[in-house]
Structure 1
Amino acid sequence: MASKTENAEKMEVVFEVVPPEGGWGHVITVSLVMMNLVTLLPLLAFGLIFGGFLASIGDETTGATASNGVYNTVQSFTAAPLLQKSTSLCEEEIRKQTKPLLNKIEEGVRSYAHHRLSSGNILLPEKRVSIVSLGDRARSVVTVDVDNENEDKKTCHPSQLIDLSLLRNPKYLNIATGMALSFTADVTFIPIIPSVLKGASFSEHDIAIAMTVFFVSDLACRIIYSIVSGLKEIKNRHVFLIGTVCLAVSRTLLTMRSGYWWTMVMLAIQGFVRCLIQTPLPLVMSEEYHDNFSTAYSLYMVVCGFVNLLLGPLMSYVKAATGSDVMVIHLLTAAFSICGTSWISEMIYSKIKRMTKK
């Protein structure tokens, strides 16, 4: 008994470092930052940069809305099948595309790295895993040696790219439509902010300050949200709903007055609150449909594309018919309201249904 106690005391707990601390998480994070810098930020600054040009050829709000709508629509329709397809073919596609480069790297390093690569094969299961080159190590660490000749080659037909069966689920349809409405109402508002402020007699300098306040508030909320979500488990759908309701209220308050400080405060609040929509957006689908996330999120992208396709021209029509940027803001506020109302109604209905079953 004493020997067992001594052995138990000598046992050491070995902790394994997992991503992102010890894996590829940091590389993925840096890649996403760079991708957003070259794609998302130019879109957000589109109205500020090209506002004068759009005003010279027609209406600034209509031009910014149309450009933003086309971008988001194309992004949604192209991203959906790519996301669905990449889940099963990503590794093979990357391997085929990078094979010529990897072969060149392998030839260059084989002369002095062969013995190191061989030692890696000794440590790994025989005939199962091999380290083929430093290029492969940097890309995927190990390559499984599987005989592909006996495997059936899978084909991916266009009809298999997106599973439409989820659209028959009322809950999913409500979630996807609400997310698409809120996301579209958020991103389409940013390009027209300069036009709205210019219509309220703000100078170019004041507009630049207002946009800075808006995005700094957004950044501050993202940092706070990351810390809070790391310390406490939160329901991302509830966070998304809170952000939707708060944005609807703040947009309405923004149109009530046009004073300098009132506008700055309202834009700061909206920049802070929009993080509650943008950050947990994919996590909502992950929580509700974690078993088939790629299918659920891909289909959401399709729904979002249709919403962009409808809301963009509708905003242009409202602007042309009324000549008022405030009415365009009210249209976007209505999109937030539809999402909030439908989600709250569904939650109340689900709660009543659970109570009646008990």
Structure 2
Amino acid sequence: MKGAGTVDYELVPPDGGWGWIIVLAAAIGNMTGQSHVSTFSLLFGDKLLSLGLNTTSAAVILNSMMAVMEFSGLGSGLFAPSAFLAVKTYFLKARGRAVGISTAGINLGQMAMPHLVRLLLENYGFSGAMLVLGGVAMHLPAGSLLFHPLEWHAERRPVASELKPLKGEPGGATSGAAADVESAKVQRPWRDTSVASLAASELGDMSTAMSVDLSKRLPPTSKEHSSLVQHKPQPVWRRVITFMDLDLLRNWVFPNMMFGTGCMFTVAVNFSLLMPMYLQRRLHLSLSDTALCLTMMAAGDVVARLTVPSITDCLKVSARLSFFVAAVLCGITCSVIATSSSMVALCVWNALSGVSRGIGFANINLCVAEVCQEHKLPAAVGFNMVSCGILLFTVGPAIGYVRDETGDYPLCIHLLTLLLLVAMAFWLVEGIVQWCRRKR
């Protein structure tokens, strides 16, 4: 029970200030820890050929690495969701722009990484290049040291109900029912709160994370104001659902969202694997020309992440709509690249493909946030990462097998485009259904 003179406070994100340092830290971590994915084929291509491994083996290696990262958060996999949650917590109005800038670090690294890998391979060989890149990746822990708890920089504002007396109450005293509600919120045992909800509470959302269904409690008496009413024991399966926030999967909108974002992630990873092979083995481009194409894609990506979120924030465009347009454009540009051969066309279409990929990646976690409650966001992000891992384990090796059996790189890229367009077709159907329901 609260004391007579205590006042409840709520944490208000600074929407700037140290939040921009958080954005810088996330950008540094993303730049040094995740930019190596697009150079996998460039770095390991000759090594895999010397070992006698084919495209299927390369696809299994890359997709297994990415899937394990999505499943368990080892290394950069642990950093990515933490960085998103940290940036999201520090911003309200400028959230889209902040997330876009923080993820733009990936593209700054991807712009420089192909040329760095080329220079390292030419001067130090495979082993020396790997040692230098390992040192570059060690900058990620330095960036994470800048992550501060929100409580250190947030503004503390008294809760409105603590400042203004209720109408009809002399002296500003709150009614007994209001006091009971506050007492129930404060005294709720943590065993009724899921791990994901507790994680959300650490990000400044304690009141939401510890909200309680008062319909399941008996009203406390005046003599036993602080006593708790015992709940009827729940079945084991119900406690597992509550503990892991599995109720997120009940609404078909959330699994549909996971499938769409997972397909986008899977297509981007496997396209990054296939494109350098297509350029070098099918079009017979040099290592420097291949690096230039990768740089153009990264440049388009970073331009999109730095500019598009500000535009969508001003126009109040939802993250899912932005992602939908970006995913369709990404699929089309990938297929166009697979049918191009001139250097100018390859550079232009790779830049456009980078723009679409940047818009999509900047909105993946924001799409998750739009379809779930705030206190369930950590669990929702985790589910989304698991779905990405499942798709990586299944789609990646299958695409590699098709390439080895047919020897056709464009066919594999077109299959990736088809997968992405099918996922967006499900999103379109969902949008039509939701629109019809609102019209009713």
Q: Same fold (TM over 0.5)?
A: yes
Deviation of 1:307 after TM superposition, in Å, equals 1.0
Does 2:412 correspond to 1:320? no
Match of 1:218, as an amino acid?
D
Deviation of 1:79 after TM superposition, in Å, equals 3.7
Deviation of 1:277 after TM superposition, in Å, equals 0.8
2: CA distance between counterparts of 1:30 and 1:158? Answer: 38
| Preserved CA contact (<8 Å) 2:71 2:389 | yes
Q: TM-score normalised to the size of structure 1?
A: 0.70
2: CA distance between counterparts of 1:226 and 1:353? Answer: 29
| Preserved CA contact (<8 Å) 1:247 1:270 | yes
Deviation of 1:194 after TM superposition, in Å, equals 1.1
2: CA distance between counterparts of 1:35 and 1:161? Answer: 31
User: Structure 2 residue aligned with 1:202, among 285, 310, 333?
Assistant: 285
2: CA distance between counterparts of 1:311 and 1:162? Answer: 27
Does 2:60 correspond to 1:66? yes
2: CA distance between counterparts of 1:31 and 1:76? Answer: 21
| Preserved CA contact (<8 Å) 2:263 2:420 | yes
Deviation of 1:289 after TM superposition, in Å, equals 1.5
Q: 1:60 to 1:223 in 2, by over 3 A?
A: farther
The runs of 5 or more residues in structure 2 that have no matched partner are 1-11, 87-147, 154-186, 196-238
2: CA distance between counterparts of 1:270 and 1:59? Answer: 29
Does 2:213 correspond to 1:218? no
Q: 1:259 to 1:229 in 2, by over 3 A?
A: same
Does 2:40 correspond to 1:46? yes
Does 2:138 correspond to 1:56? no
1:353 is matched with 437
1:5-84 → structure 2 map (5 Å cutoff) = 19-22=14-17, 24-59=18-53, 61-79=55-73
2:370 is matched with 287
2: CA distance between counterparts of 1:229 and 1:341? Answer: 22
| Preserved CA contact (<8 Å) 1:244 1:339 | no
Give SS of 2:244's match. coil
Query: Identical aligned pairs, as a percentage?
Result: 25
Q: 1:65 to 1:161 in 2, by over 3 A?
A: farther
Deviation of 1:216 after TM superposition, in Å, equals 0.8
Question: How big is each residue's C-alpha offset from its partner over 1:66-105, in whole Å with a ceiling of 9 and x where there is no partner?
Answer: 222112211121149979x99xxx9xxxxxxxxxxxxxxx
| Preserved CA contact (<8 Å) 1:51 1:60 | no
Match of 1:353, as an amino acid?
R
| Preserved CA contact (<8 Å) 2:268 2:357 | yes
1: CA distance between counterparts of 2:413 and 2:332? Answer: 12
1: CA distance between counterparts of 2:240 and 2:49? Answer: 42
Give SS of 1:21's match. coil
| Preserved CA contact (<8 Å) 1:52 1:60 | no
| Preserved CA contact (<8 Å) 1:61 1:195 | no
1:30-179 → structure 2 map (5 Å cutoff) = 30-59=24-53, 61-79=55-73, 141=152, 162-179=244-261
Give SS of 1:41's match. coil
2: CA distance between counterparts of 1:343 and 1:167? Answer: 16
2: CA distance between counterparts of 1:232 and 1:262? Answer: 32
2: CA distance between counterparts of 1:318 and 1:190? Answer: 17
1: CA distance between counterparts of 2:328 and 2:357? Answer: 11
Deviation of 1:259 after TM superposition, in Å, equals 2.1
Deviation of 1:164 after TM superposition, in Å, equals 2.3
Question: How big is each residue's C-alpha offset from its partner over 1:150-196, in whole Å with a ceiling of 9 and x where there is no partner?
Answer: 99775969876632222232111111111111111112211322111
| Preserved CA contact (<8 Å) 1:218 1:272 | yes
Does 2:340 correspond to 1:277? no
Please, what is the CA RMSD of the aligned residues? 3.1
Q: 1:243 to 1:315 in 2, by over 3 A?
A: same
Does 2:339 correspond to 1:344? no
| Preserved CA contact (<8 Å) 1:73 1:306 | yes
Q: 1:264 to 1:177 in 2, by over 3 A?
A: same
1: CA distance between counterparts of 2:60 and 2:366? Answer: 29
2:8 is matched with none
Deviation of 1:62 after TM superposition, in Å, equals 3.1
Q: Name which of structure 1's ranges 226-235 and 266-275 shifts more when overlaid on structure 2.
A: 226-235
Q: 1:230 to 1:189 in 2, by over 3 A?
A: same
Q: TM-score normalised to the size of structure 2?
A: 0.58
2: CA distance between counterparts of 1:313 and 1:182? Answer: 16
Question: How big is each residue's C-alpha offset from its partner over 1:304-345, in whole Å with a ceiling of 9 and x where there is no partner?
Answer: 111111112111211121122112212211221111111111
| Preserved CA contact (<8 Å) 1:76 1:302 | yes
Give SS of 2:317's match. coil
| Preserved CA contact (<8 Å) 1:46 1:64 | no
Give SS of 2:34's match. helix
2:384 is matched with 300
| Preserved CA contact (<8 Å) 1:62 1:315 | yes
1: CA distance between counterparts of 2:296 and 2:54? Answer: 22
| Preserved CA contact (<8 Å) 1:164 1:299 | no
Deviation of 1:352 after TM superposition, in Å, equals 2.2
User: Structure 1 residue aligned with 2:322, among 239, 257, 261?
Assistant: 239
| Preserved CA contact (<8 Å) 2:253 2:371 | no
2:118 is matched with none
Deviation of 1:227 after TM superposition, in Å, equals 2.7
2: CA distance between counterparts of 1:59 and 1:207? Answer: 21
